[in-house]
Each structure stands twice: as structure tokens, then as C-alpha cells.
Structure 1
Amino acid sequence: MKKRILIISQNFPPEIGSAANRMKGICQCLDEVADVTVWTTEPHYPYKQLYQQTDFLECAPEGITIKRIKTKSIRFEKNILRRFLLYVEVLFRFIKLILTESETYDVVFVTSPPLSVPFIGLLAKRKFKAEFVVDIRDLWPETLSAIKGIFPKILRALGYLIEKRIYHQADKLIVNSEGFISYIQGIVGDSKKIHFLPNGLTDSELVQVPVSRVSDKITIVYTGNMGIAQDIESLFHLAKNFQSAKNVQFLLIGYGKYYAEIQQEIKNLGLKNVIIKPPESRQKVWKRLRSADIAYIGLKEHAIFKTVVPGKLIDYMGASLPIIGVTSGYSKQIIEKAEAGLVFNKNEQQEINKELSKLINNQELRRYYGENGNNFARRHFNWQTNKKLLYKIIFEED
């Protein structure tokens, strides 16, 4: 008899972003061997109005029971208080769902951030007497250390208490970055195993893209969140240095706390070679990645950002794009291990310009890094392969 698995996630398709994409992959894998039910919100990330567009009405997995709660919050990405209020609203609406649920489940699988969702999972674990599995995609509340202000400090202190309880109460812990393991081990000790399950791509996304087209312009692309972690300033330095190169353009597609400020800064700096576009569906972004030439990734210099592996990095590698990066820590290790591109510190601007110029002018070099990245993604970021890891985590005893 198949196990019954309840998955609780604040983010789920048709939402965009690596959180929703990860949950889609996990659900599709588990649905092959179990009865899966998903509790989630109506699409709202990065903002609700986005999902009034037909481009974003695709891709909730078929064959899975999905229960969605409505939220009143409309725009929250710029304001941490509004985001907190959204988390509280989701918390109470999910609690109501738990209290009225008549079904039973063998496994409760929750994903964080936010920490309110694993807290709901604790209640579900007790009601359904189920195994409690916590998937950790970010070290929230530790990430709040990168935000100044009294309110973030208060949230951080409260978050540490909730985080500690959740991790200790979890029957199994999963991370999407090996960079998180030592931090979590410091909380739970050596007695609890921490499982690594990276984000993944589908077979169709992992089809290698040959670098053979002839184009009038070389496109350097950046996709995704433009928030506190991302180093867009270094991309601006590159754009300024290549303004006179008529065959080079920078394409930014995304959303986030600083999207409007970045849009205005492009105008203020007079960067005619930079195009910025609002969020697009994953399908459309993937087409843009496949037609681009080089991908940029940048993370600010803060200890917490050294532990993450951004979803965009995996997408870039899957799309066979050579990477130019301003980052450190775990994401740098992956790029260098895969030989998928070039990584620098923020203060190495002259060296970055020099190496980017080589990439722009050398198609074979772009092909070399792009193929390496794609091959690495096939081995390590492939749902068809990694679902075996998922099954082992869920269905076997630690």
C-alpha cells in the first residue's frame, strides 16, 4: 500500500522561483511511488497580480491533490513587516486547515523558509501521528543578519527559538546546499543525520545547447531575485566597461526588493547596453537562457551568502551557459569544480573585465565552459537521478 504524504509549502507552481520549482520536482518524484497531497497558498510570489497574466497559468503538477488557501497580502517583497504579516496570516489559515482535515497521512513534509510552515508541520505531525520531514532551503533566520534595523533583530531572535525546536523535533532533515550542514549540525548535534538533496532539472531542461549560432550581439544574462543577497553593482561595473562594445548587451530578468531601484540606476548611469525586464514564466526565461551566450551570478560578501547555491546557478549550468561570477563559498566551489566558468572577488574588477572580454571573443571557450556545466548538472542536478536520493530519505530508516 502506498504511503500517504502531505506536503506543506508556501511556494508552489504556477509560482516562479527556485522554491516553487524545487517543490514541483519533489512532488512529481514522490507522486510516482506515493499518494501526494499538497497544501499551499494561492500564487503570490513575488506578487499576486503577476498571476493574472496567461503566461503564468501553467505547470501545477497533474495527478496531485492540491489545497490552496487565500491570502489578503498583495505586495510584500519590499517590506519586512508586510512579509511577517503574510507569514502570520498563512500560519493561522493552515492551522484552520489542520483542525478541519479528516484525512490521515503517514508523512508530513514541510519546506522552509519561512519558519511558520515547519511550525505548522509540527502541529500536523501530532494530529496525524506522522513522520515529520523538514526541507531547509535557506538558513532563515540567520539570513536576517544581513538586514539592518530593530525589527529584523527581533524577528531573528524569535526565529532562532522556533528554528531550534523545529530541527530537534524533525524526524528527518534535508538541505539543498551542503553549505548548511555545519550550521544545522551545531544546533542538533551529531546524533541527527542531515540529508543533502540538491535542486534539480528535468531531462528536457538538461538537453545540451550547442554554441554554434552566429549572432550580431553577445548577450550576458542575469535572472531571478534582485534582493539583499545579490551583487548587481558588479554587473553594472561590467556594463560600464563594455559600453563601447556594440556587440555586447546585458539582459536582466527578475523581481525583488531592489528591482525598481536597479531599474532607476540603469537610467541614472546611462547604461544603454543593459535591458531590464519584469518577471517572466519559467518557460519563457528558459528560452531566453538557451538563446543567451554568457550568464552572470553575483552574491554579496556576507558569511551567510557563502553557504547557498542559488537556483539560477543550476539553471545556467543546465542551459549550457558559461558563467562569469562574483561570489565565494559554496557557489564558487561548484563553479570551479564543474569548470563551468570563472569566479572572482568583488575587488578584482580589472581581472573580471579581462576574462569576460576573452569569453565574449572566444566561442570555443564559451562552448568549453557551457558543456562542462551541463555535464555537471546532468550528474548532480538531475531529478531523474536524485529522486533515488529522495526515496531513500523518505522511505528508509536513518
Structure 2
Amino acid sequence: MAVLLSGMGHDVTVLTGKPNYPQGTFYDGYHGGGISREHLGDVLVVRIPMMARGYSRIGLALNYLSFILSASLLGPWALRGQKVDIVFVYGISPLLQALPAVLLAKLRRIPLVVWVQDLWPDSLTATGHVRNRMILRVVSALVRLIYRSSDRILVQSRAFIEPVAKYAEVEKIHYYPNPYLEKRSTQVSEKVARLASDIGQQFSVVFAGNLGTGSGAGHHR
């Protein structure tokens, strides 16, 4: 998305953490401390300190919290001197990582747009990872803060509109599906060609998506 926006002539700066997914440790050439800057084409990527996600739920929680704190405290300073017209959040889980964007948009007095990719706090209750009612109430309050602080909310599915509208004005919610890059190739392996032939000769059902508790497939048989 950053590269696509840059290719359309926009100046794009990405504020993010240090790469450590999915292996749980920082990738070669990166470490948790310090602020680093690198370029992806014409896109400036500013990376702030954070903890690696590790291999446990506690490590994952600390990873998320460390980003929120670091981006809130150091993000405005890391972006000092840069002219910013809009703050755009690609809202993958957890949505709470949009909290630093709320602060940055208020400090800069510029619009905030959040593109919702996953429903919160619904994801927590659906997976059963969090059952504590107090925690769920706190998360719900923070989600409401994020949505109500947003000038526009994009949702990648029309089915998201109603759940998101519980926390924000429906007028600011807009359906905007995830884009895709069309990739064509004239070279097809023998295995793929054989599979395509088999599919074409019988009734076939293909599931394309995530398999997991949060994807509604936790009890698939």
C-alpha cells in the first residue's frame, strides 16, 4: 500500500517497529533499541524501539504494548520536521496500535483515517483468548476512542459496517475492500497444470483465506 501510494505521487512515511514476525526475534541487521530510518523505494520507513514478540502470549502482549508506548512517546519526535497532511492507519490486529496515531493526529491537528482489517474487541471474545470482563471493557473503551477520534473509517468488508457502527458514527464508515495486484505468468508447473485439470473435471470447493479460531474455523470438521 505504501509503495502504491508513493507511485501515485504521494510522499509516504511509515512509522513502524523493528521486524520480528513471524520468527519471534529481530531479523538480521535489526535490534530492539534506537530509532532507525531506511527507504523502500521512495517510501521513508522510520522504525522505533520495541520488544520482540517472542514465543509466548506474554511476549506477544509485551510486543504490542511496547510499540504503543514507543510510538506514542517517540513517534512525534521521530517525525519532527516532516510535513504531514494526513495520518493513515492500516488497522491490522490489534487495533489498539492505532492509539499513537490518534495522539499524532491531534498534535498535528490533521485528519486521521483508519482502515479496519479486523474487528475489535470482537476478535478477543471470538477466540476466547481474553475472558476477563474488565479487560474487555477497557479494550472496548479504547476502540471507541480510536473510532470516534477518526475522521474516516474504512472497512474491508461490508459485514464490518454494523459492528464498527456500535463504536462510531455510521456516516464516517466507508466500505473499501483490500486491493490486489494482478500477476500473470505464462509459465505453469506440471503440478499446477495437473491440479487445474483435476479441478476442471469434477465439482470442487475451494476455501481461500485464514484457517483458525478467529476466522470461524476453530471447530471445522
Q: TM-score, normalised by structure 1?
A: 0.44
Shift of the 173–227 alpha-carbon distance from structure 1 to 2, 3 Å rule, reads: same
Which whole-Å deviations, capped at 9, do the CAs of 1:292-335 have from their partners, x for residues lacking one?
A: xxxxxxx246xxxxxxxxxxxxxxxxxxxxxxxx7xxxxxxxxx
> Counterpart of 1:107?
86
Asked if 1:97 is matched to 2:74, the reply is yes
Higher-RCO chain (CA-CA 8 Å, sequence separation at least 6): 1
Shift of the 181–110 alpha-carbon distance from structure 1 to 2, 3 Å rule, reads: same
Determine helix, strand or coil for the equivalent of 1:187: coil
Distance in 2 (CA, whole Å) between partners of 1:36 and 1:229 is 32
Match of 1:39 among 12, 15, 40: 15
Asked if 1:71 is matched to 2:46, the reply is no
Q: What amino acid is the match of 1:40?
A: T
Unaligned 5+ runs, structure 1 = 1-25, 53-59, 232-298, 302-325, 327-345, 347-398
> Counterpart of 1:144?
124
RMSD: 3.4
Determine helix, strand or coil for the equivalent of 2:114: strand
What is the CA-CA distance between 1:149 and the residue it aligns to? 6.2
Which whole-Å deviations, capped at 9, do the CAs of 1:63-100 have from their partners, x for residues lacking one?
A: 10101123222414x51x33222111101111232341
Determine helix, strand or coil for the equivalent of 2:112: strand
CA contact (8 A) 2:212 2:218 kept: no
> Counterpart of 2:35?
none
What is the CA-CA distance between 1:171 and the residue it aligns to? 0.4
> Counterpart of 1:188?
168
Q: TM-score, normalised by structure 2?
A: 0.74
Distance in 1 (CA, whole Å) between partners of 2:184 and 2:155 is 22
Which whole-Å deviations, capped at 9, do the CAs of 1:4-43 have from their partners, x for residues lacking one?
A: xxxxxxxxxxxxxxxxxxxxxx212221231110011111
What is the CA-CA distance between 1:126 and the residue it aligns to? 1.3
Distance in 2 (CA, whole Å) between partners of 1:156 and 1:142 is 9
Distance in 2 (CA, whole Å) between partners of 1:37 and 1:193 is 24
Distance in 2 (CA, whole Å) between partners of 1:149 and 1:96 is 28
Match of 1:201 among 163, 180, 193: 180
Which whole-Å deviations, capped at 9, do the CAs of 1:200-235 have from their partners, x for residues lacking one?
A: 2213x25588798347xx79999986643357xxxx
CA contact (8 A) 2:211 2:218 kept: no
Equivalence map 1:248-397=2 (5 Å):
299-300=217-218, 346=221
> Counterpart of 1:128?
108
Determine helix, strand or coil for the equivalent of 1:174: strand
Q: What amino acid is the match of 2:87?
A: V
| Greater C-alpha radius of gyration | 1
Number of paired residues? 199
Asked if 1:170 is matched to 2:155, the reply is no
Determine helix, strand or coil for the equivalent of 1:134: strand
CA contact (8 A) 2:14 2:45 kept: yes
Structure with higher helix content: 1
Distance in 2 (CA, whole Å) between partners of 1:92 and 1:99 is 12
Asked if 1:29 is matched to 2:9, the reply is no
Unaligned 5+ runs, structure 2 = 29-38, 200-204
Q: What amino acid is the match of 1:35?
A: D
> Counterpart of 1:82?
59
Q: What amino acid is the match of 2:10?
A: A
Determine helix, strand or coil for the equivalent of 2:166: helix
Q: What amino acid is the match of 1:82?
A: G
> Counterpart of 2:214?
229
What is the CA-CA distance between 1:110 and the residue it aligns to? 1.2
CA contact (8 A) 1:106 1:129 kept: no
Which whole-Å deviations, capped at 9, do the CAs of 1:129-163 have from their partners, x for residues lacking one?
A: 11110111000221111243666544322110011
Determine helix, strand or coil for the equivalent of 1:90: helix
